Amino acid sequence: MTNQALQNLISIWIPDLEFTEEGSQFLNISVKPEQLHQLLSQLKSNNETSFDYLFCLTGMDWGKELGVIYHLESTSHRHIIVVKVQTEDRENPTLDSVCDIWKTADFHEREVYDFFGIKFINHPNLKRLFLTDEWEGFPLRKDYVDEINMVIK
């Protein structure tokens, strides 16, 4: 299925999505947080798309917004898309978990929580993955201040 055919099909499900190709060979979709789980669930379960493989889930800090980028592949149809979601709430960033859609999201979401502080609603075991429970802050945010290295300098 071409990117245009994917866009035509997906825009029927949720009309107000934003589509770009951003110089990429993959179709990029920006979705609102409240539509994220619905979209990703449909992308996996629909026979025409069958995005059965979540091969990358990455946290992002765009400055004002925090968010996640999902890279999905259909192993049967051999197409790939990128889905982006943002939240402007830096104090209490939350997004729906997709662990119920793809089991591989479990550790990816824990890593994003650990380093960016994004809480995933309905995640089965959301806790720090790499950093200790005593660690303060989220080191991959642009506004993070590393107090230890500041003292050493």
Give residue-wise pLDDT tens across range 95-129.
999 999 999 999 999 999 999 999 999 999 999 99
Return the SS3 of 130: coil
CA distance 113 to 116: 5
**In this prediction, what percent of the chain has a pLDDT beyond 70?**
95
Is 3-152 in CATH node 3.30.460.80? yes
The domain locations on the chain are 3-152
**Angle 111-67-82 from CA coordinates, rounded to 5°:** 95
User: In the structure, what pLDDT confidence band is assigned to residue 78 with cuts at 50, 70 and 90?
Assistant: very high
Place 21 in a pLDDT band, splitting at 50, 70 and 90. confident
pLDDT score recorded for residue 151: 47
pTM attached to this predicted model:
0.92
